[in-house]
Amino acid sequence: MEKRIFIFILDSISLAEKNYLKKEYRKINVDIECRYYDFSLLKVDEVQKYSDDITICIDFKREYFVEIVKWIQKLRSVNFNGTILLSMDKQGFDYNISLKFLAIGGSYILDRKAWLEKPSMLINPTNDESVDAWIYNKLSVKRVAVDNDDVIDSLYNEILLHQNLKLNTLKYVYSALEISRKDEFLSLIKSHFKKKPFDIYSTKGLKKISNGLIVIWDNAEFCCELASVIASRNKKTVVVDLDRLNPTFDFQFPAKKRQTMNLSDVQRFYSSKELNKDNVLKFCYPTKIKNLKVLYGLDDIKKFEYFTNEALIELLNILLIENEFVIVNVNKFIYDAYTCLSVIKADKVLVPIDNNIVKIREKDRLLRFICEKQKIDVNKIGYVFFESDKKIALLSEMLNGNIIGQISFCKKRLNYRNIKKSYSRNMTRSIKKQYMLLVDRIISD
């Protein structure tokens, strides 16, 4: 039987525990040679003498972690392919250190108490009871996130130094990142590994579409910005303001004096049986963004009650024939007929959410209600963080993992908001990049 060398760096384990380990390993029916070192005494050159069939178990002590990191880096730099374990107490769990350890080439993180009680776990650290599953579970349960810039930057540096990082290690890192850093991390992985090994957002069940109706739930700014990005990809697009209680597209795309027709005229033409392709095209005004037209909302709230569902259905049918994408903004009131009809007819429903968990829950409950009552496929619904750097892990479970993107806060948007000027046409590069990533997840070219 081939000999397996276990080198233990056990600064923080007592003499009684060391003696106990020696006794326990004698009972195991495996030919093992255990060597115990103080950390300061173990040299990289000495480890190189052994074959790759060697396991190094480091019992974690915080004050030595910088030295431990340097030591592991030296080991990996001389092509050491053995197993490196980090022993950590659950009570003193430190996810920043755990991420760092995995990123620099560490193999597994073990529960100190568990392997001391059952030393045989070190022989086969890939079974479910012995690997760092408890840490992964801890992350998923606690919804912790890495928010220390120094830690994140050091992780990035270490990732760039290693071509053979395990995919699980990369997933482990991004799962703990704040949402504001996730796109950045994906770009790093994509450029370094020459491929996209995983997507940081959930798109399970969310099929891509090449054309159709996209409904935005109660956010005119997001609606117009998304429409402008889709149109910039050479897609014939029209954006429609169906929020009859609070139409605001005139702030996103300021209308010219001669552009006086709006949603009110749709109902007027439908009532006179003149709602056809030619007249609908009169309502849709071109913007300064190529391939994008806009249909402004209701100009007089007194006309709210006179709108019919049939007029809306006819309007959408015509627009869908004449355009590749029809993007509409609706209000959040589930008893507004235009909201309900739009969601039912939609190919995609995108729900912008912010930092307010109470409002997030409200939107989620309202959509669930509509889907249940109208038998709507929930897989066509996706949540997008808008002007929010909320930790994705905190809300992933609440929203069934259907968070498909994030659009950050932008001071320029705030300034444009107050001067009635189109931010959609003057979007900053970083924000447009976030929209492009989002569009890639929902639209097929």
- pLDDT for the residue numbered 197: 40
Least confident of 94-103, 112-121, 313-322, 419-428: 94-103
Distances (CA, A) of 362 to 106, 332, 353, 369: 43, 10, 10, 11
pLDDT higher than threshold 60 for residue 198: no
Phi, psi of 337 (to 5 degrees): -60, -35
Distances (CA, A) of 416 to 162, 181, 252, 421, 424: 44, 25, 9, 5, 10
What percent of the chain has a predicted confidence (pLDDT) above 90? 21
End-to-end CA distance of the chain: 58
How is residue 253 annotated by DSSP? S
- pLDDT for the residue numbered 102: 65
pLDDT higher than threshold 70 for residue 155: no
Per-residue pLDDT of 356-365, as tens digits, reads: 777 888 888 8
Q: What is the distance between the alpha carbons of residues 443 and 350, in angstroms, rounded to a whole number?
A: 13
Confidence category of residue 239, pLDDT binned at 50, 70, 90? very high
pLDDT higher than threshold 50 for residue 323: yes
Query: Residue 25 is encoded by which pair of tokens?
Result: 């390993």
pLDDT higher than threshold 60 for residue 138: no
**Domain locations in the chain as residue ranges:** 4-138, 145-200, 212-442
Least confident of 103-107, 207-211, 337-341: 103-107
What percent of the chain has a predicted confidence (pLDDT) above 70? 70
Q: Which is nearest to 345 in space by CA: 323, 316, 315?
A: 316
Strands 381-386, 403-407: parallel, antiparallel or unpaired by DSSP?
Answer: parallel
Q: How large is the average pLDDT for residues 329-348?
A: 91
- pLDDT for the residue numbered 195: 42
Phi, psi of 391 (to 5 degrees): -70, 120
Q: Starting from the edge strand earliest in sequence, which strands make up the sheet with 381-386, in order? A: 285-286, 292-295, 237-241, 325-330, 212-217, 348-353, 381-386, 403-407
Distances (CA, A) of 80 to 46, 158, 286, 395: 12, 17, 63, 40
- pLDDT for the residue numbered 145: 41
Residue scoring higher pLDDT (219 or 155):
219
Taking a C-beta distance cutoff of 8 angstroms, is the pair 236, 325 a contact? yes
Of all helices (H) and strands (E), which one includes residue 314? helix 309-322
Residue scoring higher pLDDT (92 or 345):
345
Confidence category of residue 125, pLDDT binned at 50, 70, 90? low
Q: What is the distance between the alpha carbons of residues 281 and 312, in angstroms, rounded to a whole number?
A: 15
pLDDT higher than threshold 60 for residue 308: yes
pLDDT higher than threshold 80 for residue 140: no
Q: How large is the average pLDDT for residues 196-203?
A: 49
pLDDT higher than threshold 50 for residue 141: no
Q: In this structure, which topology does domain 212-442 adopt according to CATH? A: Rossmann fold (3.40.50)
Q: What is the distance between the alpha carbons of residues 236 and 289, in angstroms, rounded to a whole number?
A: 11
Any residues with CB less than 8 A from the CB of 17 and at least 6 apart, and which?
Answer: 10, 116
- pLDDT for the residue numbered 201: 58
Residue scoring higher pLDDT (438 or 30):
438
Q: What is the distance between the alpha carbons of residues 231 and 284, in angstroms, rounded to a whole number?
A: 15
Mean pLDDT of the chain: 76
pLDDT higher than threshold 60 for residue 223: yes
Q: How large is the average pLDDT for residues 138-152?
A: 44
- pLDDT for the residue numbered 167: 56
How is residue 389 annotated by DSSP? -
Do 4-138 and 212-442 share a fold? yes
Q: What is the distance between the alpha carbons of residues 46 and 318, in angstroms, rounded to a whole number?
A: 77
Least confident of 117-121, 200-204, 328-332: 200-204
Query: Residue 6 is encoded by which pair of tokens?
Result: 């276990």
pLDDT higher than threshold 70 for residue 383: yes
Strands 83-88, 54-59: parallel, antiparallel or unpaired by DSSP?
Answer: parallel
What predicted TM-score, i.e. pTM, was given to this entire model? 0.59
| CATH architecture of residue range(s) 4-138 | 3-Layer(aba) Sandwich (3.40)
Per-residue pLDDT of 1-22, as tens digits, reads: 456 777 777 766 677 777 777 7
Any residues with CB less than 8 A from the CB of 385 and at least 6 apart, and which?
Answer: 179, 352, 353, 354, 392, 403, 405, 406, 407
Taking a C-beta distance cutoff of 8 angstroms, is the pair 240, 352 a contact? no
- pLDDT for the residue numbered 96: 62
Residue scoring higher pLDDT (1 or 204):
204
Phi, psi of 25 (to 5 degrees): -70, -25
- pLDDT for the residue numbered 262: 86
Distances (CA, A) of 34 to 23, 54, 84, 209, 349: 11, 10, 14, 59, 59
Residue scoring higher pLDDT (357 or 166):
357
Per-residue pLDDT of 168-185, as tens digits, reads: 556 656 665 665 666 666
